[in-house]
């Protein structure tokens, strides 16, 4: 069975014991994203320190309702990007998106992606790519919102 290539042990680990889960205060921006085909949803909060691309992601908290892939992906993501700058995290997110769009052909860059390389097998299953990206897309959206609010806040 090829299931193990998708459900790597590290994914199942994060699914069973998600890291940084639960919504926390304070936060700069909150978004809710859904996967319309299955109804999976994630609420994502981002807390920044400072402003601009060098702003630090002081906290990323979330509440996810969904399959093992979407939950584990949110957990891996939060664990990787908390404490990084928005620009660094964005680079990881772009690398992850490229991996997910590779239809199983991508060479995952472990230096950038860390544990997230475990999702390489998911990219072979088009129906599941959205699951793996749900948390990342929500984070990106929340961060853009938080950054723009910070900027507006600085100007006034």
- Decide if 58 contacts 43 (C-beta within 8 A): no
Under the binding rule (CB under 8 A), the answer on residue 132 touching other proteins is no
Choose between 135 and 150: whose C-beta lies nearer to other proteins.
135
Q: Per rule CB under 8 A, is residue 155 in the interface with other proteins?
A: no
The reply on whether position 6 binds other proteins by CB under 8 A is yes
**What are residue 22's DSSP bridge partners?**
62
- Judge residue 122's burial from the number of C-beta atoms within 10 Å of its C-beta, 0-12 exposed, 13-18 middle, 19 or more buried: buried
* # residues contacting other proteins (CB under 8 A): 18
Closest by Cα among 87, 85, 89 to 76: 89
Torsion of CA 95, 109, 122, 7, to 10 degrees: -130
Q: Of 2, 25, 111, 154, which one interacts with other proteins (CB under 8 A)? A: 2
The minimum distance between CB 1 and other proteins, in angstroms, equals 6
Which of 10, 19, 21, 38: binder of other proteins (CB under 8 A)? 38
Packing angle of the helix pair 126-155, 68-81 (nearest 10 deg): 40
Q: Among the candidate windows 62-70, 93-101, 111-119, 142-150, which touches other proteins by CB under 8 A?
A: 62-70
- Is residue 147 within 8 A of residue 52, CB to CB? The reply is yes
Kindly indicate which of the ranges 35-43, 47-55, 102-110, 141-149 contains the residues binding other proteins, using the contact rule CB under 8 A.
35-43
Does residue 99 contact residue 106 with C-beta atoms inside 8 Å? yes
When the beta carbons of 40 and 115 are compared against other proteins, the nearer one is 40
Q: Which residues bind other proteins (CB under 8 A)?
A: 1-3, 6-7, 12, 37-40, 65-69, 125, 128, 131
């Amino acid at each position: 069975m090829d299931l193990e290539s998708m459900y790597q042990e590290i994914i199942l680990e994060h699914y069973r014991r998600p890291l940084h889960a639960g919504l926390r205060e304070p936060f700069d921006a909150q978004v809710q994203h859904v996967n319309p085909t299955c109804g999976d949803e994630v609420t994502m909060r981002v807390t920044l320190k400072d402003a601009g691309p060098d702003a630090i992601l002081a906290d990323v908290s979330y509440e996810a309702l969904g399959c093992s892939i979407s939950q584990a992906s949110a957990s891996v993501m939060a664990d990787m990007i908390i404490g990084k700058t928005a620009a660094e995290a964005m680079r990881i997110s772009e690398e992850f998106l490229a991996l997910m769009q590779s239809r199983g052909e991508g060479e995952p860059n472990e230096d950038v992606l860390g544990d997230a390389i475990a999702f390489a097998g998911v990219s072979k299953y088009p129906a599941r790519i959205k699951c793996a990206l749900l948390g990342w897309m929500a984070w990106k959206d929340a961060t853009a919102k938080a950054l723009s609010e910070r900027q507006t806040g600085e100007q006034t």
